Each structure stands twice: as C-alpha cells, then as structure tokens.
C-alpha cells in the first residue's frame, strides 16, 4: 500500500464522484429531496409535449374533454457541490430513472472552494469512468425484461 491506496488500485465499485446521464434525468427532483446534505442543485423549465397541441393558437378551439396541454420538464442545470458531498449514495438509490451512477474517480481537488460545485457537463464526463455492472446470475431476467439490458453509456456506445 502506498498513500492509503491499494497497490492494485481501487476496487471496481469504489465510491467516488457521481456521474450524470442527462438524457435519463426527468427532473423529478427525488435525488435533491432525498439528499441529507442538500448538495444537489437542479433547475428546470417546462415545455409543451410535441404533438399534444390544442386547436392551434386559440385554446377555446381545443376539443372538449382534452384538459390542459401536456408539458414535460427540461433540465437546465444539474450541479453537485462536492464541498458538502459525503459519499452516501442516497441520490443514486433514489433515482428511479438511472440518471446517476457511481464513478470511481476521487481525485477532484480544487484550490478554490467554489470550483467544487460541478455542473452537468463535468458530471457527464465521468460517465466514461463508470464501470459496467457485474454480470448477472445465470438464468436471471435481463434488466427491464428485455434481451439487450446493456450499460447506459453516452451516445449509445
């Protein structure tokens, strides 16, 4: 051992920083609400769902019984303040959409405390360091019940 790190490196499932897969985030805010440190900052806005418009620009022309126009949340900002972060992983467990993952990266020292707040671009970069999940037991159903059940990597690779 040298400097507290095993000679062979860290174990594959070591807890380091949190990686973000933006396209899976639905801005449900469960991660931020469950965080005991309040170190996750999320900002979003709503947009109309394409193809679910009313009768043109005039809501009075909407078909009867259609109700309100459907909207979806769009992620504007996702940041984690690593000066408050305590490696608990509650946010990863709370996320129902598999948008957050453990990365074994732990070397993110900064000289300025403000630089420890990492925005979504930097969190996304760590997706490349997320190890693949362990192999399933023989005869187990693939994740999602499908046959492909691969690891979510950016750009579908």
Domain that holds residue 113: 11-49+70-134
In a domain, 38, yes or no: yes
Q: What pLDDT is recorded for position 142?
A: 75
- Residue 26: inside a domain: yes
Query: Is residue 4 domain-resident?
Result: no
The pLDDT score that the predictor gives to residue 70 is 84
Whether 153 has a pLDDT exceeding 60, the answer reads: no
CATH of the domain at 16: 3.30.70.3270
Q: In the beta sheet, which residues pair with residue 75?
A: 44
148 located within any domain: no
Beta carbons of 91 and 34 less than 8 angstroms apart: yes
Residue 2 has a pLDDT of 42
Model confidence at 86, pLDDT cuts 50, 70, 90, reads: very high
- Whether 144 is in a domain gets the answer no
Q: How confident is the model at residue 155 (pLDDT cuts 50, 70, 90)?
A: low
**Count of the separate structural domains present in the chain:** 1
Average pLDDT of the chain is 81
Q: Residue 129 burial (CB < 10 Å; 0-12/13-18/19+)?
A: middle
In a domain, 155, yes or no: no
The tens digit of pLDDT for each residue in 7-31 reads 567 676 668 889 999 999 999 999 9
Find the range with the poorest average confidence among 16-25, 50-59, 93-102, 126-135.
50-59
Least confident window among 35-39, 65-69, 128-132: 65-69
Regarding pTM above 0.85, the answer is: no
- Return d(Cα 103, Cα 108) in angstroms, integer: 12
DSSP 87-110: S--HHHHH-TT--EEE--------
Q: Half-sphere exposure (CA, 13 Å, Cβ side) for 4?
A: 1
User: Which of 32-41, 47-56, 97-106, 148-157 has the highest mean predicted lDDT (pLDDT)?
Assistant: 32-41
* pLDDT for position 105: 84
In a domain, 152, yes or no: no
In a domain, 86, yes or no: yes
């Amino acid at each position: 051992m040298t400097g507290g790190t095993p000679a062979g490196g860290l174990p594959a499932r070591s807890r380091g920083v949190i990686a973000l897969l933006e396209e899976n985030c639905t801005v449900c805010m469960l991660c931020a609400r469950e965080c005991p440190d309040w170190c996750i900052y999320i900002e979003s806005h709503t947009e109309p769902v394409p193809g679910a418009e009313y009768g043109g620009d005039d809501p009075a022309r909407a078909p009867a019984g259609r109700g309100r126009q459907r909207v979806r949340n769009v992620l504007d900002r996702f940041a984690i303040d690593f000066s408050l972060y305590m490696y608990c992983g509650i946010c990863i467990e709370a996320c129902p959409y598999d948008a957050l993952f453990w990365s074994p990266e732990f070397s993110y020292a900064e000289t300025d405390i403000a630089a420890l707040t990492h925005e979504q671009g930097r969190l996304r970069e760590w997706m490349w360091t997320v190890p693949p999940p362990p192999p399933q037991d023989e005869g187990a159903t693939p994740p999602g019940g499908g046959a492909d059940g691969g690891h979510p990597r950016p750009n579908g690779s």
